[in-house]
A = this chain, B = another copy of it.
Amino acid sequence: MRQRYYIEDIGEYVNCEVTLEGWLTGKRSSGKILFLQFRDGTGFIQCVASKTDVGDEAFASADGLTVESSLIVTGVVKEDRRAPGGYELSVTGFKAVQVAEEYPIGRKEHGDAFLLDHRHLWIRSSRQFAILRIRATVISAARDYFDSRGYTMLDTPILTPAACEGTTTLFATDYFGESAYLTQSGQLYNEATAMAFGKVYCFGPALRAEKSKTRRHLTEFWQIEPEIAYADLGDIMDVQEELLSEIVARVLKDRARELGMLKRDTAVLARVQAPFPRVTYTEMVDLLSKNGVEFEWGNDFGADHETVMSRTFDRPFMVTHFPKSVKPFYMEIDPDDERLTLSVDMLAPEGYGEIVGGGQRVTDLATLERSIDEGALPRADYEWYVDLRRFGSVPHAGFGLGIERVVAWICGIHHLRETIPFPRMLNRLRP
């Protein structure tokens, strides 16, 4: 493929003439000098054109370009400390590709519905650009973490015959005459692949028909889920801690410019280093009570509780040993207290709440069969899963890290809908 230049790498071409292919995001003119705000998908740069350098005709044609017109600009790269990215382009020539119609997204404030309706264009704006570039880095860092440590990536199915995380949020489809459900998590299948490949992970979409309209829920979100054979609760807590530290370090290193665009306080992120605080569910209930929050032992924490809890610590922290009543059937029972499970949630600080959920899985055949029956789950649908306890059962543990929740926290943004290219929520299926 032909040699191309991108704004991201522009620092390598100071005082060289380069051609950039992109779009106009704005312009102003002083009559003889034209300042073009320009983006090419890898960054933003100001292009400065003087009538003397480019000639009257080219100058006039560029002056007539509308916002989001596509444009090829040639010019010399100049270092300029005052410029946002540190560089400017001194233009020697233009070529307009397409003159855009009047662009619907302007400088004025738009409502949420309007922006979401125009998500295919909204993603071009600098804030969305920064968030989604950080998302890509979070995903890449998470995968690299596992790939470099001998985990085998094994995709789990999207279409499944049964529920993994309860039946109230299932999307169903007709599968050649029988009912199939869209996956809510790859975990049960991960347990099968962990018994075959030792250390595994899956990375894929999870679909849950969440009827609640909160800033923390999407109906379609992405999870990375490792599962390890011959591992216990303590082992996966170590993995969680190390994984999150590595993700954050990578974003700090590779996406400093994007964090700056979001005005994110990076001091908070720099503190994300092991060891993370580890507290039990029961200690957490006491802490809520000390903070004047009424909470009955045995209930699940809600978003409000999580918010209170996650303002208590200056870095991510882990809550362990939740009661059986609030965790799924596959969680291993605590051998020291049978009311509890060997489970762990990780919460982000600054009020962000849960970003990781996991634990050790039931090893014993009879215990698992009892759990399935107690949950009134259809035994036939889980026979294959029960088989994993008949043929070489071993202690094993794993977790799921929600990509959008991690991205929202790292970016310091309020609503999950900005952390995914095309968010899906209650009443939001378009574009």
A38 CB, min distance to chain B CBs, angstroms: 11
| A42 contacts B by Cβ under 8 Å | yes
Q: Which residues of A, 179-213, contact B by the 8 Å Cβ criterion?
A: 180, 182, 189, 192-199, 204-205, 207, 209, 211
Q: Which residues of A, 212-260, contact B by the 8 Å Cβ criterion?
A: 219-220, 222, 229-231, 235, 238-239
Digitize A58-96: 1 where CB-to-B-CB distance is under 8 Å, 0 elsewhere: 000000000011101000000000000000000000000
Given A199-B41, A209-B176, A392 contacting B23 (CB threshold 8 A): yes
List of B residues within 8 angstroms of A384 by Cβ = 118-120, 430-431
Q: How far is the CA of A387 from the CA of B273 in the complex (A)?
A: 45
A313 CB, min distance to chain B CBs, angstroms: 22
List of B residues within 8 angstroms of A72 by Cβ = 230
Q: How far is the CA of A242 from the CA of B271 in the complex (A)?
A: 41
| A424 contacts B by Cβ under 8 Å | yes
List of B residues within 8 angstroms of A387 by Cβ = 120-121
Please tell me if the beta carbons of A220 and B174 are within 8 angstroms of each other in the complex: no
Given A21-B230, A41-B198, A387-B120, A154 contacting B132 (CB threshold 8 A): yes
List of B residues within 8 angstroms of A158 by Cβ = 158, 182, 205, 207, 220
Please tell me if the beta carbons of B120 and A132 are within 8 angstroms of each other in the complex: no
Q: Which residues of A, 1-50, contact B by the 8 Å Cβ criterion?
A: 1-2, 4, 6, 8-9, 21-24, 40-42
Digitize A417-431: 1 where CB-to-B-CB distance is under 8 Å, 0 elsewhere: 000111010110111
| A284 contacts B by Cβ under 8 Å | no
Q: Which of B100, B101, B121, B172 contacts A174 (CB 8 A)?
A: B172
- Nearest B residue to A234 by beta-carbon distance? B1
- Nearest B residue to A199 by beta-carbon distance? B41
| A336 contacts B by Cβ under 8 Å | no
Q: How far is the CA of A158 from the CA of B220 in the complex (A)?
A: 8
Given A70-B394, A133-B152, A429 contacting B160 (CB threshold 8 A): yes
Q: Which of B6, B153, B174 contacts A139 (CB 8 A)?
A: B153
Q: How far is the CA of A332 from the CA of B260 in the complex (A)?
A: 39
List of B residues within 8 angstroms of A389 by Cβ = 98
| A55 contacts B by Cβ under 8 Å | no
The oligomer's copy count stands at 2
- Nearest B residue to A197 by beta-carbon distance? B41
Please tell me if the beta carbons of B155 and A222 are within 8 angstroms of each other in the complex: yes
Please tell me if the beta carbons of A391 and B100 are within 8 angstroms of each other in the complex: yes
Given A178-B429, A429-B161, A132 contacting B197 (CB threshold 8 A): yes
Q: Which of B155, B173, B175, B195 contacts A205 (CB 8 A)?
A: B155
| A159 contacts B by Cβ under 8 Å | yes
Interface of A is mostly: mixed
List of B residues within 8 angstroms of A429 by Cβ = 159-161, 175, 178, 180
Given A160-B429, A429-B160, A173 contacting B173 (CB threshold 8 A): yes
Q: How far is the CA of A171 from the CA of B239 in the complex (A)?
A: 37
Please tell me if the beta carbons of A159 and B424 are within 8 angstroms of each other in the complex: yes
Please tell me if the beta carbons of B97 and A393 are within 8 angstroms of each other in the complex: yes
Q: Which of B70, B97, B171, B393 contacts A173 (CB 8 A)?
A: B171
Given A120-B384, A171-B173, A420 contacting B155 (CB threshold 8 A): yes
Given A23-B195, A176-B211, 6 extra CB contacts under 8 A: A1-B231, A120-B385, A123-B197, A136-B152, A158-B205, A176-B427
7 closest A-B pairs by CB: A41-B198, A384-B431, A70-B392, A120-B192, A21-B230, A41-B197, A124-B196
Interface residues of A (CB under 8 A from B): 1-2, 4, 6, 8-9, 21-24, 40-42, 68-70, 72, 97-98, 100-101, 103, 118-121, 123-124, 128-129, 132-133, 135-136, 139-140, 143, 147, 150, 152-161, 171-176, 178, 180, 182, 189, 192-199, 204-205, 207, 209, 211, 219-220, 222, 229-231, 235, 238-239, 363, 384-385, 387-394, 420-422, 424, 426-427, 429-431
Can you list 17 pairs linking A and B with CB atoms under 8 Å apart?
A21-B230, A41-B152, A68-B391, A70-B392, A97-B392, A120-B387, A120-B388, A123-B192, A124-B195, A154-B421, A157-B422, A159-B207, A176-B427, A182-B182, A192-B431, A193-B421, A385-B431
